[in-house]
């Protein structure tokens, strides 16, 4: 069995590395656990490399990582929670069930199987702010969740597997009102949550914080507690139910640009009768507070990026309404609020002076213990290099993470009595459970730093070389490169095991996932490179990255392709319109017309582009649809017909324009898909058609897979 190699991590600033033979301990525990749990065994079942490799052109290699494997094996994760018995629950998306999201209850005992909690005719998903998140909450044996079809909240008992969901909120005749990011108020037997009301306008929804009675089966209108601003998130109640914290922000800001943290005092009747702004209210301080959390002792903690420009942990001093940092580090202890319900840190209940947290620094995540009294940070060695949410269990933690050799997973982490060392580390859930046989085909990500067009500035990326134990190319051939531009654009590429990427690299493609200027994970200054310059900085950085790899001998300059979804689709189209670096591109639900997007997109992002683009002149000059004459290479487009973030007209307009110009172009539209593809058959088709499109038009090779290509206008 292959053993896991754990490297010692270091950070800038005051810290300690808690080793004491932990590398060997965690490796042993990890390996023993994987032997028990086949879902995570990166075992020796991988096919051995032949003595003599087959020489074949890059891109033409055969691989067992098929589109069926990619589309069917990769499940998504929508959050975790723990009930009164310490049992873990998680929200799992299933491409093979048309993207349905199901709450799963883990087993308490070693041999106890996980079971589905969500009935077959339900799907747990909220469309609040379109991107959702925070779709379920648990206290004791009570589960409250949002149902995708009607967007109503339902209550369900977790004590019995036959418990049927009971509606809590009114039926408005359709999915017109959504709820997200809720918490229980046990003192008043109610549920406090963010409500998005689209009954008056689907493009200008009214958002508020409301309470919903749990005590009886009488369905009542939610009671508004806090309202008046454009957006709300993270309603969090203290242990006594007397103080409510929340985050709010207003147009044209996004929550990572500028937001405010407020405290409301709660009366005996449940009303918020007094409000205090804790952070974000001082115009002299630019900050974006996020993730408020109360300790059992009543202290309020939160994360903000004041002064340093990095999201660090702070606490509120209630007596004089001041804020003080707990620990300062040039690292990000939070992520941008694209979805509700993120949980980047937890206060350890057994030792309230300690906070377990995740933070990200130069492309790597770390798991740490903060001592809020000593202002010190210690690192816990973990096999994961990419960490997301943390959930407190009973004398343990549940951590969502991944790495270059492990796909997105949930690990049960047990600490010693001093919370200074990991004593047990078990994978309890994996997004891709049957991947052990493909290990020898995996390409490991290489974190690269490359120069941009701005002298002295750099950007970052993860480069994946072509990897296949059976094939090799001739020494005088360089591989074709597929560059991915991530969405957001305020998002981040992650160097983790992703079968979608391995689909390409195992067939002989080089792949690079770019963190251009504007990406998260590198502080506010890096993130704000994109302000007023979307369509310039991102495009230039993607082109610079591709050229850097060509100059380094890692890619063929005549076979550079680019792909991206949503904002990444816009960068793809803009790069093809305004630059000549790439020879073909694929846009997945991408933006072609910035002005049209601003007029038609949902409320959350409706003013986003004001800060990213500028005025009418810039909107026109950076819209690829207005410069069709400058396109000179083939493009394939993929679009969901129910997309409310980037409506279908965007893809249709660019398709018709390119077709009329005479360029090779194809458009694929999917019924029932929204922003991002969730159905296995559509994920499979998109992957296959991108590959065969690139192969036919710029690859100079024939793919090994039996794929029937769609008709390409102006080519077939």
- Domain-embedded: residue 40: no
- Tens of pLDDT, residue by residue over 418-440, are 888 889 999 999 988 777 789 99
> What per-residue confidence (pLDDT) applies to 73?
65
In whole angstroms, what is the distance from residue 374 CA to residue 448 CA?
35
- Domain-embedded: residue 385: yes
Q: Is the pLDDT of residue 269 over 60?
A: yes
- Nearest CA-CA partner of 87 in 115, 108, 112, 104: 108
With b for 16 or more beta-carbon neighbours within 10 A and e for fewer, the 475-510 pattern comes to eebbbbbbbbbbbbbbbbbbbbbbbbbbbbbbbbbb
Helix (H, G, I), strand (E, B) or coil at 306: coil
218 vs 551: which has the higher pLDDT: 551
Q: Check whether residue 493 and residue 379 sit in a common domain.
A: no
Q: Is the pLDDT of residue 4 over 50?
A: no
- Domain-embedded: residue 189: no
580 vs 674: which has the higher pLDDT: 580
Q: How confident is the model at residue 23 (pLDDT cuts 50, 70, 90)?
A: very low
Q: Check whether residue 660 and residue 576 sit in a common domain.
A: yes
Q: How confident is the model at residue 32 (pLDDT cuts 50, 70, 90)?
A: very low
> What per-residue confidence (pLDDT) applies to 110?
63
> What per-residue confidence (pLDDT) applies to 700?
84
Stretch 207-235: mean pLDDT: 94
Q: Which residue has the tokens 């080519």?
A: 715
> What per-residue confidence (pLDDT) applies to 599?
87
Q: How confident is the model at residue 276 (pLDDT cuts 50, 70, 90)?
A: very high
Q: How confident is the model at residue 243 (pLDDT cuts 50, 70, 90)?
A: very high
- Domain-embedded: residue 273: no
- Tally of domains in the chain: 2
Query: 1 and 360 in contact (C-beta within 8 Å)?
Result: no
> What per-residue confidence (pLDDT) applies to 674?
85
Tell me which long-range contacts 682-685 makes (C-beta under 8 A, separation of at least 24). 683/67, 683/70, 683/71, 683/95, 684/67, 684/68, 684/70, 684/71, 684/72, 685/67
Q: Is the pLDDT of residue 508 over 50?
A: yes
In whole angstroms, what is the distance from residue 466 CA to residue 473 CA?
10
Q: Is the pLDDT of residue 218 over 90?
A: no
> What per-residue confidence (pLDDT) applies to 448?
96
Q: Check whether residue 389 and residue 409 sit in a common domain.
A: yes
**Neighbouring-strand partners of residue 565:** 588
128 vs 36: which has the higher pLDDT: 128
Backbone angles phi, psi at 584, to 5 degrees: -165, 160
Q: Check whether residue 514 and residue 420 sit in a common domain.
A: no
> What per-residue confidence (pLDDT) applies to 3?
25
Q: How confident is the model at residue 62 (pLDDT cuts 50, 70, 90)?
A: very high
- Tens of pLDDT, residue by residue over 491-505, are 999 999 999 999 999
Helix (H, G, I), strand (E, B) or coil at 288: coil
Stretch 301-305: mean pLDDT: 98
Q: Check whether residue 514 and residue 624 sit in a common domain.
A: yes
Stretch 238-264: mean pLDDT: 97
94, HSE (Cβ side, Cα atoms, 13 Å): 16
Q: Is the pLDDT of residue 613 over 90?
A: yes
- Domain-embedded: residue 64: no
- Tens of pLDDT, residue by residue over 335-347, are 999 999 999 999 9
Share of the chain above pLDDT 90, in %: 78
Q: Check whether residue 424 and residue 544 sit in a common domain.
A: no
Q: What is the 3-state secondary structure (H, E, C) of 172-218?
A: CCCCCEEEEEEEEECCCCEEEEEEEECCCCCCCCEEEEEEEECCCCC
Q: Check whether residue 505 and residue 408 sit in a common domain.
A: no
The contacts of residue 590 (CB under 8 Å, 6+ apart) are 564, 565, 566, 567, 568, 569, 570, 572, 573, 637, 646, 650, 651
Q: How confident is the model at residue 31 (pLDDT cuts 50, 70, 90)?
A: very low
Which of 85-89, 214-218, 361-365, 692-696 shows the lowest mean pLDDT across its residues? 214-218
Q: What is the 3-state secondary structure (H, E, C) of 52-85?
A: CCEECCCCCCCCCCCHHHHHHHCCEEEEEEECCC
- Nearest CA-CA partner of 304 in 326, 271, 284: 326
| Mean pLDDT taken over the chain | 89
The percent helix, strand, coil of the chain (3-state, each to 5) is 20, 30, 50
581 vs 3: which has the higher pLDDT: 581
Query: 377 and 370 in contact (C-beta within 8 Å)?
Result: yes
Backbone angles phi, psi at 461, to 5 degrees: -165, 165
Q: Which residue has the tokens 């991102």?
A: 538
- Cα distances (angstroms) measured from residue 230 to each of 192, 194, 197, 200, 250: 18, 12, 12, 15, 5
Q: Check whether residue 582 and residue 691 sit in a common domain.
A: yes
> What per-residue confidence (pLDDT) applies to 101?
95
Q: Is the pLDDT of residue 162 over 90?
A: no
399 is in which domain, residue-wise? 343-433
Q: Check whether residue 411 and residue 523 sit in a common domain.
A: no
Stretch 358-372: mean pLDDT: 94
Q: Check whether residue 500 and residue 620 sit in a common domain.
A: yes
Domain boundary among 408, 433, 458: 433
Q: Check whether residue 463 and residue 416 sit in a common domain.
A: no
> What per-residue confidence (pLDDT) applies to 12?
33
> What per-residue confidence (pLDDT) applies to 42?
35
Stretch 661-683: mean pLDDT: 91
Q: How confident is the model at residue 661 (pLDDT cuts 50, 70, 90)?
A: very high
- Domain-embedded: residue 55: no
Q: How confident is the model at residue 604 (pLDDT cuts 50, 70, 90)?
A: very high
Query: 653 and 683 in contact (C-beta within 8 Å)?
Result: no
Stretch 391-403: mean pLDDT: 93
Domain boundary among 402, 433, 464: 433
**Domain CATH for 523:** 3.40.50.1820
Q: How confident is the model at residue 84 (pLDDT cuts 50, 70, 90)?
A: confident
Q: Check whether residue 448 and residue 386 sit in a common domain.
A: no
Q: Is the pLDDT of residue 52 over 50?
A: yes
116 vs 353: which has the higher pLDDT: 116
Stretch 624-652: mean pLDDT: 92
* Structure-block tokens of residue 555: 């890619």
Which of 16-30, 284-298, 347-361 shows the lowest mean pLDDT across its residues? 16-30
- Domain-embedded: residue 56: no
- Cα distances (angstroms) measured from residue 613 to each of 584, 622, 646: 25, 8, 17
Q: How confident is the model at residue 50 (pLDDT cuts 50, 70, 90)?
A: low
434 vs 132: which has the higher pLDDT: 132
> What per-residue confidence (pLDDT) applies to 58?
97
> What per-residue confidence (pLDDT) applies to 416?
87
DSSP 8-class letter at 160:
-
Q: How confident is the model at residue 217 (pLDDT cuts 50, 70, 90)?
A: confident
Burial class from Cβ neighbours inside 10 Å (0-12, 13-18, 19+) for residue 12 reads exposed
In whole angstroms, what is the distance from residue 456 CA to residue 671 CA?
47
In whole angstroms, what is the distance from residue 80 CA to residue 388 CA?
11
Q: How confident is the model at residue 677 (pLDDT cuts 50, 70, 90)?
A: confident
Which of 131-135, 413-417, 689-693 shows the lowest mean pLDDT across its residues? 413-417
> What per-residue confidence (pLDDT) applies to 344?
97
- Domain-embedded: residue 256: no
Which of 65-74, 304-313, 368-377, 383-392 shows the lowest mean pLDDT across its residues? 65-74
Q: How confident is the model at residue 109 (pLDDT cuts 50, 70, 90)?
A: low
Backbone angles phi, psi at 31, to 5 degrees: -65, -45
């Amino acid at each position: 069995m292959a053993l896991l190699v754990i490297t010692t991590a270091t950070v800038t600033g005051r810290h300690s590395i808690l080793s004491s033979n932990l590398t060997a301990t965690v490796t042993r525990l990890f390996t023993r656990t994987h032997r028990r749990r086949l879902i995570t065994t990166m075992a020796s079942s991988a096919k051995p490399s032949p003595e003599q490799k087959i020489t074949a052109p890059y891109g033409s290699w055969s691989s067992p990582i098929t589109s069926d494997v990619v589309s069917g094996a990769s499940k998504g994760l929508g959050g975790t929670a723990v009930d009164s018995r310490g049992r873990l629950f998680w929200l799992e998306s299933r491409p093979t069930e048309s993207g349905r999201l199901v709450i799963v209850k883990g087993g308490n005992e070693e041999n106890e199987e996980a079971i589905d909690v969500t009935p077959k005719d339900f799907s747990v998903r909220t469309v609040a702010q379109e991107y959702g998140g925070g779709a379920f909450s648990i206290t004791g044996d009570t589960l409250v969740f949002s149902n995708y079809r009607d967007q109503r909240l339902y209550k369900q008992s977790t004590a019995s597997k036959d418990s049927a969901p009971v509606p809590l909120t009114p039926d408005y005749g359709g999915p017109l009102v959504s709820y997200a990011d809720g918490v229980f108020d046990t003192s008043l037997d109610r549920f406090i949550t963010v409500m998005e009301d689209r009954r008056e306008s689907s493009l200008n929804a009214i958002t508020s914080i409301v309470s919903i009675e749990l005590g009886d089966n009488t369905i009542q209108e939610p009671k508004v507690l806090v309202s008046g601003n454009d957006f709300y998130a993270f309603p969090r109640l203290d242990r006594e139910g007397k103080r409510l914290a929340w985050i709010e922000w207003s147009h044209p800001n996004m929550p990572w640009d500028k937001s405010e943290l407020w405290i409301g005092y709660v009366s005996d009747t449940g009303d918020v009768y007094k409000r205090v702004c804790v952070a974000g209210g001082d115009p002299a301080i630019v900050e974006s507070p996020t993730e408020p959390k109360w300790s059992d002792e009543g202290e309020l903690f939160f994360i903000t990026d004041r002064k340093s420009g990095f999201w660090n942990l702070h606490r509120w001093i209630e007596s004089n309404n001041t804020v003080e940092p707990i620990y300062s580090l040039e690292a990000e202890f939070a992520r941008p609020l694209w979805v509700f319900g993120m949980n980047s840190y937890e206060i350890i209940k057994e030792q309230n002076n300690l906070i377990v947290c995740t933070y990200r620094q130069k492309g790597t995540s770390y798991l740490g213990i903060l001592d809020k009294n000593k202002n010190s940070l210690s690192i816990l060695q973990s096999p994961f290099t990419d960490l997301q949410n943390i959930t407190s269990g009973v004398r343990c933690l549940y951590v969502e993470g991944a790495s270059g050799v492990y796909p997105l997973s949930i690990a049960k982490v047990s600490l010693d009595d001093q919370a200074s060392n990991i004593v047990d580390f078990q994978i309890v859930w994996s997004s891709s459970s049957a991947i052990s046989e493909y290990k020898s085909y995996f390409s490991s990500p290489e974190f690269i730093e490359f120069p941009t067009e701005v002298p002295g500035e750099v950007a970052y990326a993860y480069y994946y070389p072509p990897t296949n134990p059976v094939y090799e190319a001739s020494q005088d051939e360089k591989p074709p490169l597929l560059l991915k531009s991530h969405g957001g654009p305020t998002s981040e590429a992650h160097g983790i095991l992703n079968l979608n990427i391995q689909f390409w690299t195992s067939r002989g493609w080089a792949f690079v996932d770019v963190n251009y200027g504007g990406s998260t994970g590198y502080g506010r200054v890096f993130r704000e490179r994109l302000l007023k310059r979307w369509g310039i900085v991102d495009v230039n950085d993607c082109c610079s990255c591709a050229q850097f790899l060509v100059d380094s001998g890692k890619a063929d300059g005549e076979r550079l392709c680019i792909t991206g979804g949503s904002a990444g689709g816009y960068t793809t189209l803009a790069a093809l319109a305004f630059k000549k670096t790439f020879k073909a591109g694929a846009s997945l639900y991408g933006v072609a017309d910035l002005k049209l997007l601003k007029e038609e997109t949902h409320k959350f992002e409706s003013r986003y582009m004001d800060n990213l683009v500028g005025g009418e002149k810039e909107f026109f000059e950076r819209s690829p649809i207005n410069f069709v004459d400058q396109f000179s290479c083939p493009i394939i487009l993929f679009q969901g017909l129910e997309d409310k973030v980037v409506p279908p007209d965007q893809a249709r307009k660019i398709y018709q324009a390119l077709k009329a110009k005479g360029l090779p172009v194809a458009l694929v539209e999917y019924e029932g898909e929204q922003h991002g593809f969730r159905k296995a058959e559509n994920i499979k088709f998109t992957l296959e058609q991108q590959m065969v499109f690139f192969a036919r038009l710029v690859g100079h090779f024939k793919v090994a897979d039996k794929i029937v290509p769609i008709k390409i206008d102006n080519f077939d």
